[in-house]
Structure 1
Amino acid sequence: MMNPYIPDRITWIGLRSVELPLSQAVSDAKVATGRQKPLESVSLLFAEIETSQGHSGLGFSYGLRTGGPAQYAHAQEIAPLLIGEDPNDISRLWSKMVWASASVGRGGVAAQAIASIDTALWDLKARRAALPLSKLLGARRSAVPCYNTSGGYLQASIEEIVDKATQSRELGIGGIKMKVGQPDRRTDLQRVEALRKHLGEQVPLMVDVNQQWDRITALRMGRELEQYQLEWIEEPLDAHDVAGHAALAAQLDTPVGTGEMLTSAAEALGYVDSGAVDVIMHDAPRLGGITPFLKVANAAEQRGMIMAPHFVMEIHLHLAAAYEHQTWVEHFEWLEPAFNERLEIRDGQMIVPDRPGLGLSLSEKVSGWTQAQIEIGKRA
């Protein structure tokens, strides 16, 4: 006879706000069109959880350009509500945090603060089971096709992008994504043509517009880009223009994707349920954590959609490994200095680590980038 379950309790939560500098500032189309400044660092919100039975978990969220301090401030408000709770009740605890945040909404900064804690709870649950998170979720594969984005930003010359693409391919990365969406569309086409010629026809190539086209421009550029056999065109329109994406996807042979700027499961499900895109590209830290991410992924599975989660390969690799249909993971080396571990890449795919949970631990460098930290509850 099996022993009955003995409830565990959360006894301690540590929060840490970190500003991780990039080795080089990068610019996408939002910078080229004057809407944003170059990106120089990534704000990270880390949450660590410990329980009465000695279990622990690590999660994180992030902000680009703005939002990091606000995420940290809101996390301080909601984290005390979890002290004394059973960490295995993840769905209930996610709802508890959402309702505690009701006056500031169910998306944006509030969702991103919740995401760090929600991810830590999933990491803890997988560690407790001595399983990688992918296997706790029911892994379908041990490696996921990957593509590099960090080498394809607009501040780089086409010569630099070609060189970075070569380096990525030599590292074993499968596909290459480059930024487009500049005011001069001819420059975009010239750069895409040069990279496609360098890579050859067999290497997967994607482009990312970062929401900088209107509907007419997106259709015209989409038709021009058909000749390059792209894997997809990403964020051609405003992130909330569901109808525009649906119309564009219906008129192009090239798949259309979006989702990274959405900050709730409801927003992402608007695209999935209506079949408005070919590739769903939602982001767990931005949606509110792994709990809402899985709701969107489950709906996308029912439609047979391609899934290509945005950024944070350290989290999304595990989630992509459990997805039924074609999926990708996005390679960015930006966050690697924050962790002691490295993800292995081989033959165009990123290998799912066999370490328990997310398989991550914070490096010593994080202390030097820490802006603020707080402990809630008592450590065992």
Structure 2
Amino acid sequence: MSASLTVPTAAPAVGDRIASVTLSSVTLPLPNAISDAKVFTGRQRPMTEVAFLFAEIRTEGGFEGVGFSYAKRAGGPAQFAHAREVAPDLIGEDPSDIGRIWTRLVWAGASVGRSGAATQALAAIDVALWDLKAKRAGLPLAKLLGAHRDSVRCYNTSGGFLHESIDQVRANATRTLEEGIGGVKIKVGLPDSAEDLRRVAAVREHLGDGVPLMVDANQQWDRPTAMRVGRALERFGLVWIEEPLDAYDVEGHAALARSLDTAVATGEMLTSVAEHHALIKVGAADVLQPDAPRIGGITQFLRLATLAEVDHLQLAPHFAMEIHVHLAAAYPHEPWVEHFDWLHPLFEERLEIRDGRMLISDRPGLGVTLSDQLRAWTVDSVTVHAPHRS
């Protein structure tokens, strides 16, 4: 007679519920006004601040997750307003059902579309849910996603802007390397392309041939200029030329990528997976540069990363290193993460950088705690919670 088989009892499908969501609009002042090529071509004013949307999600079981999105120049109040409208739909939801929640919130605001400010508002919520999920598991987010590495190559951008003299940019580059950062990116795209070439030549000479160097034109070249300057830049051994053309000029980027030996990088200004897919389909980017807060959060970033990996693309997420270090660590091919120190005042913790690489901390979730300074810079805040039951 065979032994009786004991069938284990399944655990409840729902272990927790979202009890409240706090949304905060935060304005981060920059120490100095920042100028890239868009300022020198007259399309933008110097940037003096960055607007952030923070989402703090709490569950009935006492877990908390934090996420953020951002807007440079205009857009911050719009993100806050949209998030405030859809946040009530979160209450009572199982926080583990992140994909379903994202879809529900998208449909809550379907009349304003599935990209841009609408989904950037959802990004803060989506990131908070992933942070919460990793904290519940007691894991850094990278480990929850399935890390391929415990550190990621990193390069600095914040020391290479055009409002600073070339002498200052060289000094910034020296400091960057002394801090353990592995590469340097400088801005180009000036109306005088000869000046761009002089700046790149000066930095390359200063760094030597062995230091990874990137340039970023911030979409300010037309097709003939991008081709001409791109060919002139070949001699500097650049890792990539970033945003040489308008972000939506898919065919122009594809033609440039086919013509140059230097890799073409783009994608940071796009606001959906579909827009990035258009780049991928025609080979318009050797290096894809998605921004999780801009495309709708981590859920959307992971969809895009799968598409990028299938085509064996390099990945170099834009800005928001506190989020992207985890996502880059989970990408199969060796990626880059962009180092900006602008967000330091918003968090209690700092990412560790050593030997050219940004390390994944052992703290659960994103590994960040909101600072008192962030609270002081909060210009509006609202908490949505379940109705009181008597």
Higher-Rg structure is 2
Q: 8 Å contact 1:61–1:112 — kept in the other structure?
A: yes
Question: Aligned-pair distance for 1:274?
Answer: 2.7
Q: Go from structure 1 to structure 2 and tell me whether the alpha carbon gap of 1:199 and 1:10 turns closer, same or farther (over 3 Å shift).
A: same
In structure 2, distance between residues paired with 1:156 and 1:317: 28
Equivalent residue number for residue 42 of structure 1:
50
TM-score by length of 2: 0.96
Cα RMSD (Å): 1.2
Residue 152 of structure 1 is matched in structure 2 by: 160
- Residues 278-312 of structure 1: CA distance to partner in whole angstroms, max 9, x if unpaired? 00001000000001111111111111110000000
- Give the drift of 1:3: 5.5
Structure 2 counterpart of 1:211: 219
Superposition misfits of 4+ residues, deviation over 4 angstroms: none
| CA pair 265-170 structure 1, distance change in 2 beyond 3 A | same
Q: Who is 2:5 aligned against?
A: none
Alignment map for 1:354-365 (pairs within 5 Å): 354-365=362-373
Instruction: Give the drift of 1:5.
Output: 3.3
Q: Does 1:314 align with 2:314?
A: no
1:99/1:379 CA distance change after superposition, 3 Å: closer
8 A contact 1:309–1:330 mirrored in 2: yes
1:257 matched to 2:260? The reply is no
Of 7, 12, 15, 1:5 maps to 12
CA distance in 1, matches of 2:225, 2:9: 63
Counterpart code for 1:249:
A
Q: Distance in 2 between matches of 1:102 and 1:379?
A: 26
Number of corresponding residues? 380
Identical residues among aligned pairs (%): 61
Aligned counterparts, 1:115-126, within 5 A: 115-126=123-134
Paired residue secondary structure (2:308)? helix
**1:379/1:315 CA distance change after superposition, 3 Å:** farther
The residue correspondences of 1:99-114 to structure 2 (distance < 5 A) are 99-114=107-122
Q: Pick from 272, 283, 288: which aligns with 2:291?
A: 283
Segments of structure 1 that go 5 or more residues without pairing to the other structure are none
**Aligned mates of 2:9, 2:27 — CA distance in 1:** 47
SS of aligned partner of 1:116: helix
Query: Which of the numbers 176, 190, 193 marks the counterpart of 2:184?
Result: 176
Separation of aligned partners in 1, 2:387 and 2:136 = 18
Asked if 1:88 is matched to 2:96, the reply is yes
The aligned amino acid for 1:194 is A
CA distance in 1, matches of 2:95, 2:206: 50
Paired letter, 2:128 = A
**8 Å Cα contact 2:91-2:386 kept in structure 1:** no
Deviations 1:58-108 (A, max 9, x none): 000000001001100000001111111111111111111111111111111
8 Å contact kept, 2:251–2:282: no
Distance in 1 (alpha carbons) for counterparts of 2:354 and 2:19: 40
Return the offset for 1:56: 1.1
Deviation at 1:270, TM superposition (A): 1.2
Mapped contact 1:11–1:379 kept (Cα < 8 A) = no
Distance in 1 (CA, whole Å) between partners of 2:321 and 2:68 is: 12
How far does the alpha carbon of each residue in 1:332-363 deviate from its partner, in whole angstroms, 9 at most, with x for none? 00001000000000000000111000011100
5+ long unaligned stretches in structure 2: 1-7
Determine the C-alpha separation between the residues in 2 that align with 1:285 and 1:6. 29
Partner residue of 1:190 out of 198, 204, 228: 198
The amino acid that maps onto 1:337 is P
Question: What secondary structure sits across from 1:350 in the alignment?
Answer: strand
Instruction: Name the CA distance, whole Å, in 1 between partners of 2:127 and 2:361.
Output: 17
Write the deviation string for residues 149-177 of structure 1: whole angstroms up to 9, x where unpaired.
00000000000000000000000000000
Amino acid at match of 1:21: P
Find the aligned partners of 1:94 and 1:161 in 2 and give their Cα distance.
Answer: 42
Q: Please state how far the C-alpha of 1:275 moved relative to its aligned partner.
A: 2.2
